[in-house]
A and B are shown apart, each in its own frame.
Chain A
């Protein structure tokens, strides 16, 4: 039986198609993953390389957007919101330590050297 497109596939095919491809090769994925502290298998490396190349290709349309002089971070104005600089404790340290992997109240972690 001929495969019929679903609604979602029809909608997506109507959206703009990327002009060209970025070079999100395995080496770049490996470099990014190392920087992000994620160890990838060979299969993941191939898959993410493919996915990210497709995604970044689509993002190329940002190049066509008009340049404007703006450095917006928050979508609303945020100013004069400093609170008083008075020390306080909301949660007792012993409570915070309850579910932590600790040794004599020190948080356990990997060796540095």
Chain B
């Protein structure tokens, strides 16, 4: 086991993927090294979730996923940079460092688990824990050219995860090696009484299966950049050559997924973030002479970043009397509609496949030109499976003319992670991944 803290800090100076590091200088008898997104609590490192309002928060406990990795012999080497509370597609909405893409440092890593994807790409033999709410594992995995899995909702305990949207959050794994997805998901998965949604799961099966048929929704192949389209359809041809049937199908409900997701996610986020009031943890340096409500407003206004405020306002509005039925109640109906459509397609196919993102990692100067709505719309391929709670994996499937990675995303039915592990492992033998 080769771990030198100074070397890790040198790598970080180049890419900015870590928010904090272990204080240990060697790996001792650790069996493997791992990092974790900074919205997973760790007793030995600060946990800020990319937010100023949590500055100085040192949790007294480990998230279950981190505790399980340590119990399996893992050494947590650092916590990775991310969009504030997971609010973003490019890991640029942060009070701390913005991770730089391992293939071109003028481009984003993707979000919101950008630091984790970057660490998986540039550190040898490394695995990183990420969290997905609406695509925050698939997107950065695609932009950084690595493998990433978001398991079925409830497969991994959310205890110790700083909530974004409770009904959507999923902890998963990113690595440069497909095999690691199976190995480490098995470690972090399982029932945990401290998260009731983790208690109803069937066990993970550890025997590879043959994937025989894949559905490609027509709606998922529209609006792609030329490079992504070309890499994706080349990959589809390679899958066909490997004997897998590929059918083009229609999934008309996908067009409603973005508004439904952002209504539900921001509604949940706005209630979750009500707990940050400048007392008990994180920022506690407010002016205590202020009146009761003014104190909270003052701390929250200083502590939350631009996108966090936008999502709190949006989520508060869509839950307000007079608007609740139009937005929140309708979004819940659409969620079921999307689930039903996925279930129908998956009753006749093993997996559903689309590109992961419609374009390669954008440059930071192009991201600055995007409006908030522009960046929300960029998630139109990753949001639908997240809305369904179904497991999905992003795998690298090609490169554009400048060498930037392109990813594709497989989705399986609830609890069918084994099909995803199997197809990712099969794909790894067929695809020549270029290291960063």
Using a CB–CB cutoff of 8 Å, the interface residues on chain A facing chain B are 6-12, 14-16, 24, 28-29, 32-40, 44, 48, 51-52, 54-56, 58-59, 61-68, 70-83, 90-91, 95-96, 98-101, 107-112
Instruction: Report B-chain residues with C-beta under 8 Å of the C-beta of A77.
Output: 200
Asked if A8 meets B330 with Cβ closer than 8 Å, knowing A44-B309, A109-B288, the reply is: no
Instruction: Judge whether B427 is part of the interface by a CB distance below 8 angstroms.
Output: no
CB < 8 Å neighbour of B262 from A55, A74, A96: A55
CB distance from B394 to the nearest CB of A (A): 18
Contact (Cβ within 8 A) A70 B58:
no
Asked if A110 meets B288 with Cβ closer than 8 Å, knowing A48-B313, A67-B333, the reply is: yes
Asked if A12 meets B280 with Cβ closer than 8 Å, knowing A37-B297, A58-B259, A112-B292, the reply is: no
Contact (Cβ within 8 A) A62 B331:
yes
User: Measured between alpha carbons, how far is A28 from B60 in the docked complex, in Å?
Assistant: 40
Asked if A74 meets B167 with Cβ closer than 8 Å, knowing A29-B313, A54-B371, A91-B60, the reply is: yes
Contact (Cβ within 8 A) A99 B152:
no
CB distance from A49 to the nearest CB of B (A): 10
**Of listed A28, A73, A79, A112, residue having the most chain B CB within 10 A:** A73
Instruction: Judge whether B70 is part of the interface by a CB distance below 8 angstroms.
Output: no
CB < 8 Å neighbour of B259 from A61, A99, A112: A61
User: Measured between alpha carbons, how far is A65 from B330 in the docked complex, in Å?
Assistant: 8
Contact (Cβ within 8 A) A72 B332:
yes
Instruction: Judge whether B179 is part of the interface by a CB distance below 8 angstroms.
Output: no
Contact (Cβ within 8 A) A76 B152:
yes
Instruction: Judge whether B98 is part of the interface by a CB distance below 8 angstroms.
Output: no
Which residues of B in the span 248-304 have a Cβ within 8 Å of any Cβ on A?
A: 253, 255-256, 258-260, 262-263, 270, 274, 277, 279-281, 284, 286, 288-298, 300-301, 304
User: Measured between alpha carbons, how far is A7 from B224 in the docked complex, in Å?
Assistant: 8
CB < 8 Å neighbour of B279 from A52, A70, A101: A101
Contact (Cβ within 8 A) B292 A110:
yes
Give the residue name and chain of the A residue nearest to B332 (CB): A72
Instruction: Report A-chain residues with C-beta under 8 Å of the C-beta of B253.
Output: 65
User: Measured between alpha carbons, how far is A26 from B214 in the docked complex, in Å?
Assistant: 49
Instruction: Judge whether B362 is part of the interface by a CB distance below 8 angstroms.
Output: yes
CB distance from B373 to the nearest CB of A (A): 5
24 A-B contacts, Cβ less than 8 Å apart?
A: A6-B362, A6-B363, A7-B358, A7-B362, A8-B370, A9-B369, A10-B225, A14-B222, A15-B223, A28-B317, A32-B313, A37-B300, A62-B326, A65-B256, A68-B337, A74-B154, A75-B414, A76-B153, A91-B60, A101-B284, A108-B284, A108-B288, A111-B288, A112-B292
CB distance from A106 to the nearest CB of B (A): 11
CB distance from B223 to the nearest CB of A (A): 4
Instruction: Judge whether B127 is part of the interface by a CB distance below 8 angstroms.
Output: no
Q: How large is the interface on B (under 10, 10 to 19, 20 to 34, 35 or more residues)?
A: 35 or more
User: Measured between alpha carbons, how far is A61 from B326 in the docked complex, in Å?
Assistant: 11
User: Which 8 residue pairs of A and B lie closest in terms of their CB atoms, listed nearest first?
Assistant: A75-B389, A110-B295, A70-B336, A7-B225, A7-B359, A81-B196, A101-B284, A59-B259
User: Measured between alpha carbons, how far is A71 from B325 in the docked complex, in Å?
Assistant: 12
Instruction: Report A-chain residues with C-beta under 8 Å of the C-beta of B284.
Output: 100-101, 108
CB distance from B150 to the nearest CB of A (A): 12
Instruction: Judge whether B199 is part of the interface by a CB distance below 8 angstroms.
Output: yes
Contact (Cβ within 8 A) B333 A70:
yes
Give the residue name and chain of the A residue nearest to B337 (CB): A68
CB distance from A100 to the nearest CB of B (A): 6
User: Measured between alpha carbons, how far is A10 from B222 in the docked complex, in Å?
Assistant: 11
Instruction: Report A-chain residues with C-beta under 8 Å of the C-beta of B196.
Output: 78, 81-83
Asked if A36 meets B313 with Cβ closer than 8 Å, knowing A11-B225, A99-B57, the reply is: yes
CB distance from A87 to the nearest CB of B (A): 14
Contact (Cβ within 8 A) B154 A78:
yes
CB distance from A4 to the nearest CB of B (A): 11
Contact (Cβ within 8 A) B297 A11:
no
Contact (Cβ within 8 A) B389 A76:
yes
Spot the interface stretch: B6-14, B20-28, B29-37, B375-383: B375-383
Instruction: Judge whether B68 is part of the interface by a CB distance below 8 angstroms.
Output: no
Instruction: Report B-chain residues with C-beta under 8 Å of the C-beta of A112.
Output: 292
User: Measured between alpha carbons, how far is A4 from B199 in the docked complex, in Å?
Assistant: 52
Instruction: Report A-chain residues with C-beta under 8 Å of the C-beta of B223.
Output: 11, 14-15
User: Measured between alpha carbons, how far is A79 from B229 in the docked complex, in Å?
Assistant: 42
Instruction: Report B-chain residues with C-beta under 8 Å of the C-beta of A32.
Output: 313, 316-317, 320
**Of listed A72, A81, A90, A99, residue having the most chain B CB within 10 A:** A72
CB < 8 Å neighbour of B295 from A51, A68, A95, A109: A109
Instruction: Report A-chain residues with C-beta under 8 Å of the C-beta of B362.
Output: 6-8
Instruction: Report A-chain residues with C-beta under 8 Å of the C-beta of B279.
Output: 100-101, 107-109
User: Measured between alpha carbons, how far is A18 from B327 in the docked complex, in Å?
Assistant: 15
Contact (Cβ within 8 A) A75 B313:
no
Instruction: Judge whether B372 is part of the interface by a CB distance below 8 angstroms.
Output: yes
